[in-house]
Amino acid sequence: MRHSPLQKACTALLVIAFGWGTGYIVLKGIEYFQPSTIIVQTGVQKALTLEAKVVNPAVPETSKLTIMVGGDLMFDRGIRAIGERNGYASLFDDSVVSLFKKADMVVANLEGPITTNVSKTLINGKTTDSFTFTFPIAAADALKSVGIDVVSLANNHTDNFGFAGYQETQAYLRDAGIEWFGNPWNATSTRLTIRTATGDSPVATLLEKNGITIAFVGYHAFQLGVDQVIAEIRRVSKPGVFTIVMPHWGEEYVSVPSDKMRSYARAFIAAGADAVIGAHPHIVAEQEWIGAVPVHYSVGNLLFDQYFSEQVKRGMVVQLDLVKKDGVISIARMATHETSMKPGIGVSLEK
């Protein structure tokens, strides 16, 4: 049967329309089934809606590891006064210690150096206006005794007593059996570290437990060197390694991350980060999922002598339950635990 030119043109238009419509449906179907990014708005209570999220329940576990990550730790000024009076381990309530004992690794940000220098923030039992911190030697053993075994040194107080204070801090941490990573300068020179473990640098540390290897990477946002940190993330983020980046960034007492912070979080993830958990604002900030990667812009204070608002007295411990199958490490479950600072006592787990 012969078709007229008009019939042929109509048929061609129908074919084009059908093909376009099919392609659109396929593309939209792909879009609809992509993992969505979960954005949690600012504020502690709303931020805690990520608690107990089952990220990947279908993965059968062959090896497993539980990591808990807390926020800022400070052992000078008012905290030093309590520690001298009651003992530094007493600063952590039994509820916090019991929580930490459930983990295979507990990590936090050590907001200052451990040195033999005399305190400038506590003189004759009275606190001063100084922001130059030095922590007592007893702080290292106290950290170990309550279950904290890894700390970040990538912050704006670790260098309060210069490079000598930074080296002294490493020595006391090593003697107490505590691992560390990061530095205040984002520097990668091995001359900055006294650690001798293969594969470590002043920015990143690789630790293995229960057959699972974790890379910890520190970043201090108030110094140059983000490109060096991103390069270190790429270097350590190999197959079979779970990479946690802990940036010290943001504005104090501001819970909404800046566009720059969001951009850096994506850059860290593009380089290989499997989790981004930040500190410095001294309050719990927004959280979001970027693909399958949890981003906590700030987990607030873990141990600090700030009591002027409910926000600064509350912190968050992020729990990551990891599993390894066929050489691939993934998050099986993520939970958060809220902590609270009690004036004159220390930190406890919020019930």
Q: What is the pLDDT along the chain (351 residues), one digit of tens a residue?
A: 455 554 544 455 444 444 444 443 333 332 222 232 222 323 333 333 344 445 555 545 579 999 999 999 999 999 999 999 999 999 999 999 999 999 999 999 999 999 999 999 999 999 999 999 999 999 999 999 999 999 999 999 999 999 999 999 999 999 999 999 999 999 998 778 776 444 578 999 999 999 999 999 999 999 999 999 999 999 999 999 999 999 999 999 999 999 999 999 999 999 999 999 999 999 999 999 999 999 999 999 999 999 999 999 999 999 999 999 999 999 999 999 999 999 999 999 987
Q: Which long-range contacts (CB under 8 A, 24 or more apart) does 34-40 make?
A: 35/289, 35/291, 35/292, 37/288, 37/289, 37/290, 37/291, 38/288, 38/289, 39/286, 39/288, 40/286, 40/287, 40/288
Integer Cα distance of 238 and 143 in angstroms: 30
Tell me the residue length of the chain. Answer: 351
User: Could you tell me the pTM of the whole model?
Assistant: 0.83
From 279, 277, 254, 257, select the one nearest 331 (Cα to Cα).
Answer: 277
